[in-house]
Amino acid sequence: MTNQFNDTIFALSSGRPPAAIAVVRISGPRAGDALKALSGKIPAPRQAGLARVRDPQSGEIIDEALALWFPGPNSETGEDIAELQLHGGRAVIAAVLAALGRIEGLRPAEAGEFTRRAFEKGKLDLTAVEGLADLIGAETEAQRRQGYAQLKGLLGQRAETWRARLVQALALVEARIDFSDEGDVPEDLMGPALALVRGLRDEIGEALAGAARGERLREGLVVAIAGPPNAGKSTLLNRIARREAAIVSPTPGTTRDVIEVHLDLDGYPVTLLDTAGIRDSGDPVEQEGIRRARERTSNADLVLWLESAEHHHAQSRATELSAQFPGWTVRTKVDLLSVERRNELINEVKIKTSDIIHLSASTGLGMPEFLARLTEFARSYFGIESALLTRERHRNLLILAKTSLDRVLDECSQTGEEIVAEELRGAAQSLGRLTGRVDVEDILDVIFRDFCIGK
Ligand SMILES: Nc1nc2c(ncn2[C@@H]2O[C@H](COP(=O)(O)OP(=O)(O)OP(=O)(O)O)[C@@H](O)[C@H]2O)c(=O)[nH]1
Ligand SMILES: [Mg+2]
Reported as a single tens digit per residue, the pLDDT across 40-68 is 999 999 999 999 999 999 999 999 999 99
Q: Which residue has the higher pLDDT, 55 or 4?
A: 55
The pLDDT of 90-114, averaged and rounded, is 96
CATH 1.20.120.430 region(s) of the chain? 129-210+389-436
- CA 267 to ligand 2 centroid distance, Å: 27
Q: Is the pLDDT of residue 149 over 90?
A: yes
Q: pLDDT band at residue 1, thresholds of 50, 70 and 90?
A: very low
What confidence tens digit (pLDDT) does each residue in 177-192 have?
Answer: 877 665 555 557 788 9
Contacts (Cβ under 8 Å, ≥6 apart) of 245: 237, 238, 259, 261, 274
Residues with beta carbon inside 6 Å of ligand 1?
A: 229-235, 248-250, 252-255, 276-277, 332-333, 335-336, 360-362
**Which CATH class for the 8-121 domain?**
alpha beta
Distance 421 CA to ligand 1 centre (A): 64
For ligand 1, atom 7: residue with the closest CA: 232
> What is the rounded average pLDDT for all residues in the chain?
90
Ligand 1 atom, smallest distance to 361 CA: 31
For 257, phi then psi, to 5°, come to -75, 160
DSSP code of 242?
T
Q: State the pLDDT confidence band at 302, using cuts at 50, 70 and 90.
A: very high
Q: Which CATH architecture is the domain 129-210+389-436 placed in?
A: Up-down Bundle (1.20)
Q: Which residue's CA lies nearest to atom 3 of ligand 1?
A: 333
**pLDDT on residue 318:** 60
Q: Which residue ranges does the chain devote to CATH 3.40.50.300?
A: 217-382
pLDDT at position 429: 93
pLDDT tens profile 323-357: 777 789 999 999 999 888 887 777 766 655 557 89
Residues of the chain with CATH 3.30.1360.120: 8-121
Residue (of 331, 265, 335) closest to 301 by Cα position: 265
Ligand 1: which residue has its CA nearest to atom 8?
A: 232
Question: What is the 226 CA–ligand 1 centroid distance (Å)?
Answer: 13
Burial of 279 (0-12, 13-18, 19+ CB in 10 A): middle
Predicted TM-score (pTM) of the model is 0.84
72-96: average pLDDT: 97
- 217-382 fold: Rossmann fold (3.40.50)
Distance 365 CA to ligand 1 centre (A): 15
Measure 363 CA to ligand 1 centroid, in angstroms: 12
Q: Are 240 and 371 in contact (CB under 8 A)?
A: yes
Residue 283 has pLDDT above 80, yes or no: yes
Task: State yes or no: pLDDT of 414 exceeds 50.
Answer: yes
